[in-house]
Amino acid sequence: MRLFDQLVSLAGAMLILYAYLALQRGWMRREDRAFNAINLGGSVLLTYAAVKNWNLGFIILEGSWALLSIPGAFAKQTRS
């Protein structure tokens, strides 16, 4: 794996882990557009790395994660 691919996968992992940390610490809610957008960005980067290195299980996992994040990332934000 080239250095660029490693950096892309590390950035994707860091985004997903940050979103999870923010959720656990109460900095974000799962309904927040930012939470879903960060998850979407991270999963797209990780899907790229998986496709580039043809890792089918990882492609399915991260591709699904990205698809599931899209509605929340683009949903109209509501505040309660």
Q: Which residue has the tokens 């934000």?
A: 77
In this structure, is residue 77 part of a structural domain?
Answer: no
Q: Averaged over 5-12, what is the pLDDT?
A: 92
Q: What is the DSSP string of 19-49?
A: HHHHHHHTSS-TT-HHHHHHHHHHHHHHHHH
Confidence of residue 76 (pLDDT cuts 50, 70, 90): confident
- Global confidence as pTM: 0.80
Structural domain including 36 reads: 7-70
| Residue 73 scores a pLDDT above 70 | yes
In this structure, is residue 80 part of a structural domain?
Answer: no
Distance CA(46)–CA(63), nearest Å, equals 9
Total count of domains within the chain:
1
Residues 16-69 have pLDDT tens digits of: 999 999 999 999 998 899 999 999 999 999 999 889 888 888 889 888 888 888
